[in-house]
Structure 1
Amino acid sequence: MAVKSRELKFIATEEKGEVSALYARPRGAKALLVLGHGSGTNMRHLFMQELSDALNDVGIATFRFNYPYSERGGGGMDGEKVRLATVRAAIEMGIKQARGLPVFAGGHSMSGRMVSMACAEESIDGLKGIVFFAFPLYSSKPNTERAEHLKDVRVPMLFLSGQRDRMANLELLQPVVDNLENATLHVVDTADHGFKILKRRNTDEPVMEELARVAGGWMAGQE
């Protein structure tokens, strides 16, 4: 599928300044996903590139972005306030680029949580839903405190979570999703938090294709 790509800049916060973004739009795109990276990577990480490519293949445009800390390449992660502001700015920029496409937002691990926290604080005009690629329910000790804000999110949510994800035990995550008003959980067989899979997986479908197929189909169903 033909994909038009370009690099952009936008202001994350007045204090932190500009960060980079990558916009990829396939011909005949059906929706746009603002796609944030995990805490220890950046928008150009192989996982992000492969996920973006797979989404493009099913007709989903992607808007990847850096946070100030990942833009500068080190020095410690930005505080929560900065990350939330960056997410809001990225979504605003994504909506401007969408040219009429329905816009969704989310990302891998930390970024998905930042999007939902931003939406819980204040609804974002024009955002149709949130896609979590491995929601980090906890960092070490299993609990559901990080999910408490989700009840205040007013848009549909899709959780794609690995069966072996050590940051989101399904016995805890499933009830969280079940108790939300408009949320869906898709479990990726044998996958861990980074969506690495085992040979005994119950399907031959490549994991990135599965993520893109499920996410793309879900987004199409929200129109």
Structure 2
Amino acid sequence: MTDSPAPADPGETALQFDVDGAPVSALSGRPPGADATVVVAHGAGTGLEHPFLTGFTRALRDAGLATLRFNFPYREQGRRMPGRPAPAIAAWRAAVAAAEHLAAEAGSAGEPIWASGKSYGGRMASMAVAEGMPAAGLVFVGYPLHPPGKPDRPRDEHLIGLTLPMLFLQGTNDPFAIPNEQLADATARIGPNAALEWIEGGGHSFEVKGRKRPADEVGAGLAPAVAAFVRAHAER
């Protein structure tokens, strides 16, 4: 890992780590007393700098959790949309390794490392875990269960059989999870290790019709549920 220029948020440090020999950008932050890290990946059409993720990770740190958010390789290469899953899965493995290294440097070696992501970022995290990547748990911030309008093409087969804790945060108006019963059924089939929390009226970015809020505020509003889930499983 190498340092990068200072980020806009004074609570974070910019760094880079290698994915298959190429550097990707990341931002890390650790509040005093943190005993778990949440690694966060962006959605398909954005990057780590998106205000939603800025607000989300800042609120997680305010709740006492360390954070690491990073770019996928395609984003670093200037492309707008992802290609094959393999580079994203490799990026997830490298990001978790970076989080473990940062925790050890802070005197917290072996602390729980959680994998979280907005939409595509969360799905890639789950695919990495299904392929053997270690993680204390998964947090999905708007899971893309199927392409909009195509519930006959679900993306949940790799989730069945995973036994680590999983939290699904989902808007009831998210076109990637309509009908809602389909995601409820998927989490039921995963088993009791999966929890589903609906955000009433929320769209794919958790926007609620008739209630305009900045994206960083929307992201921050989801952090308490995530922190509570992480803490609950740390106590078991």
What's the TM-score, normalizing by structure 1?
0.89
The 3 A distance-change label for structure 1 pair 166 and 73 is same
The 3 A distance-change label for structure 1 pair 151 and 52 is same
RMSD: 2.0
**What are the equivalent positions in structure 2 for 1:31-50 lying under 5 Å apart?**
31-50=36-55
**What are the equivalent positions in structure 2 for 1:65-84 lying under 5 Å apart?**
65-74=70-79, 76-84=81-89
How big is the shift at 1:199? 4.0
How big is the shift at 1:3? 6.8
Task: List per-residue Cα deviations over 1:9-39 (Å, max 9, x = no partner).
Answer: 111113xx11011001122224210100000
**What are the equivalent positions in structure 2 for 1:1-223 lying under 5 Å apart?**
4-14=11-21, 17-74=22-79, 76-99=81-104, 100=108, 101-122=111-132, 124-125=133-134, 127-140=135-148, 141-143=150-152, 145-169=154-178, 170-181=180-191, 182-199=193-210, 207-223=218-234
Task: List per-residue Cα deviations over 1:140-190 (Å, max 9, x = no partner).
Answer: 311363001101323111000011111012111001111212100011121
The 3 A distance-change label for structure 1 pair 3 and 184 is farther
The whole-number CA distance in structure 1 between the counterparts of 2:127 and 2:42 is 16
> Is the partner of 2:44 in helix, strand or coil?
coil
CA contact (8 A) 1:68 1:78 kept: no
CA contact (8 A) 2:29 2:66 kept: yes
Higher mean alpha-carbon deviation, 127-136 vs 151-160, is at: 151-160
How big is the shift at 1:5? 1.8
CA contact (8 A) 1:119 1:154 kept: no
The whole-number CA distance in structure 2 between the counterparts of 1:194 and 1:218 is 20
CA contact (8 A) 2:53 2:219 kept: no
What stretches of structure 2 of length at least 5 have no aligned partner? 1-8
The whole-number CA distance in structure 2 between the counterparts of 1:98 and 1:143 is 42
The whole-number CA distance in structure 2 between the counterparts of 1:171 and 1:208 is 24
The whole-number CA distance in structure 2 between the counterparts of 1:47 and 1:209 is 8
CA contact (8 A) 1:137 1:143 kept: no
The 3 A distance-change label for structure 1 pair 209 and 20 is closer
CA contact (8 A) 2:52 2:220 kept: no
Indicate the residue corresponding to 2:5 in structure 1. Answer: none
The 3 A distance-change label for structure 1 pair 78 and 209 is same
Aligned residue identity for 1:9: Q
What's the TM-score, normalizing by structure 2?
0.84
Aligned residue identity for 1:50: G
The whole-number CA distance in structure 1 between the counterparts of 2:127 and 2:46 is 20
Question: Whose strand proportion is higher, 1 or 2?
Answer: 1
Higher mean alpha-carbon deviation, 192-201 vs 60-69, is at: 192-201
CA contact (8 A) 1:9 1:18 kept: yes
What stretches of structure 1 of length at least 5 have no aligned partner? none
Q: Percent identity among equivalent residues?
A: 36
